Amino acid sequence: MTKGTEIRYRVRGGTPLQGTVFVQGAKNAALKMIAAALLTDKGRTVLRNVPPIEDVRRAVELAQVIGARVEFHEAERTLVVDASTLTSPVLPAEIARRFRGSVLFVPALLHRFGEAVIEGVGGCNLGSRNLDFHYRGFARLGATVDEGESVIRITARDGLRGAHLYLDTPSHTGTENLMMAASLAPGTTIIDNTAQEPEVLDMIAFLSKMGAEISGGGTGFITVHGVSELRAVEHTVMADRIDAGVFAMAAASAGGEINLVGANLDHLGVVRWKLEQMGVEFATNGAVLQVHREKPLRPINVITSPFPGFATDLQSPIMTLATMAEGASYIRETIFDGRYSLAAELNKMGAKVEIDNNVAIVHGPSVLRGTEVVAPDLRGGAALILAGLAAEGETVISPGYYIDRGHSAIDERLRALGADVTCEEHEAVVAA
């Protein structure tokens, strides 16, 4: 541990939201596309609507450190990748450990170098986050996986070849990683039990433009016919449904009416219905989504599950809303067991959340009071900002880096809606 500067957010609650907010491009699609751009050794890939968030910056650094020429024009939300210059198959710990997307660089490295060396994989600390489906899939495609204590070496000197793969559960990045690996593996690959998240479909659209032959997206059963090469293309990243959900829930938390530009109601899946049950109103006005909340919130039962079920990434924000609802809400997290750490922070603000047998019981309504709270992870941090919007007094949330991993300029965008949210640097003890 060493002293350094850290970001924190300061929220003064009590103002209903009003106005228009722009939904960012999807983190969970953009990260995969940056990795996929490295599959081709010719030409320059252009990605549009790339969110200027910390995880994307880490992906850019990781691509650069292995030799790619990457320009991220943040103001234009545009990324240009030239992967003809790759020099190294080693994903170094200091960058790879800082975000989840690093494991998605493996297929390109296997195809380009016949080996990939991962010195670490990061991502939110949400309890156990295995990568066994990925490694088993690479092995079935013909790679040798050597899982050392801190370094994982995957080799495929003679290349990969099509095979029948399966996922024990429909893993989001697992599906994308194996699709990428199979795209350039001669023969046919079938992947059983694949994820159906909208980002997976956007990734299929991107890979297909590059020349990949992939069918079955959205069915849970994907077939990939390997091709001999992929080409650099231009693609616009889909809107971030989690960012949209967080802003919709910000309006639900503070009250008021907002316009979400770039949100797709269908991508919210069950989240939309649950928010409606709580008393949040949605209306589409052409391509703009209006979100309105006036009356007191009603309690809710939520079970997280893969798309179109209730997204685990929106479980923390809805826990914040449940603290304000009139009655007891029940929330069962089935994807990441570490996501209940938010409860203790909400309780510091006056909420009554108890964890019983892996279910969170939220006894509402509570009057939330601002205080200093710790963001346990990305979405837990966003959930605490939402709590701050409804709380009496001032809420200070740190570390802000977690929130910045996945939401771009959340303070500026909330201020545009009339909220009192600021972001500041402060001295803190940080991991070396």
Catalytic residue numbers? 124
Judged by the rule CB under 6 A, the positions of this chain that interact with ligand PEP are 100, 123-124, 126, 313, 378-379, 406
Determine whether the annotation assigns residue 411 to a binding site: no
Q: Would you say 361 and 333 are in contact if contact means Cβ atoms under 8 Å apart?
A: no
Determine whether the annotation assigns residue 192 to a binding site: no
Binds 132: which of ligand PEP, ligand UD1, none (CB < 5-8 Å by kind)? ligand UD1
Binds 379: which of ligand PEP, ligand UD1, none (CB < 5-8 Å by kind)? ligand PEP
**Does residue number 28 form part of the binding site for ligand UD1 (CB under 6 A)?**
yes
Binds 378: which of ligand UD1, ligand PEP, none (CB < 5-8 Å by kind)? ligand PEP
Binding range to ligand UD1, per CB under 6 A, among 8-16, 108-116, 129-137, 383-391:
129-137
The partner residues of 330 in beta bridges, in order of sequence, read 301, 361
Q: Which residues contact 47 (CB under 8 A, 6 or more apart)?
A: 30, 33, 34, 37, 78, 79, 80, 81, 234, 235, 236, 237
- Residue 100 CB, shortest distance to ligand PEP, in Å, is 3
Q: Which residues contact 298 (CB under 8 A, 6 or more apart)?
A: 277, 278, 279, 325, 326, 327
Determine whether the annotation assigns residue 58 to a binding site: no
Dist. CA 156–CA 148, nearest whole Å? 17
Q: Which of 263, 272, 365 is nearest to 314 (CA)?
A: 272
Determine whether the annotation assigns residue 27 to a binding site: yes
Determine whether the annotation assigns residue 100 to a binding site: yes
Considering beta carbons, is residue 97 or 352 the nearer one to ligand PEP? 97
Binds 35: which of ligand PEP, ligand UD1, none (CB < 5-8 Å by kind)? none
Among 169, 215, 284, 358, binds ligand UD1 (CB under 6 A): 169
Dist. CA 245–CA 331, nearest whole Å? 17
Q: Which of the residues 340 through 359 are near ligand UD1 (CB under 6 A)?
A: none
Among 8, 112, 134, 413, binds ligand UD1 (CB under 6 A): 134
- DSSP assignment of 203-236, as one string? HHHHHHHHT-EEE-TTTTEEEEE--S-----EEE
DSSP state of 71: E
Among 44, 48, 129, 348, binds ligand UD1 (CB under 6 A): 129
Binding range to ligand UD1, per CB under 6 A, among 69-77, 78-86, 168-176, 223-231:
168-176
Dist. CA 392–CA 323, nearest whole Å? 14
Q: Would you say 259 and 283 are in contact if contact means Cβ atoms under 8 Å apart?
A: no
Pairing mode, strands 372-374 and 394-398: parallel
Angle among Cα 238, 243, 248 to the nearest 5 degrees reads: 120
Q: Would you say 63 and 81 are in contact if contact means Cβ atoms under 8 Å apart?
A: yes
- Residue 312 CB, shortest distance to ligand PEP, in Å, is 7
**Does residue number 100 form part of the binding site for ligand UD1 (CB under 6 A)?**
yes
Q: How many residues bind ligand UD1 (CB under 6 A)?
A: 20
- Residue 249 CB, shortest distance to ligand UD1, in Å, is 16
CA distances from 368 to 317, 322, 387 (A): 15, 12, 7
- Residue 172 CB, shortest distance to ligand PEP, in Å, is 8
- Residues annotated within the binding site are 27-28, 100, 313, 335
- Residues annotated within the binding site for phosphoenolpyruvate are 27-28
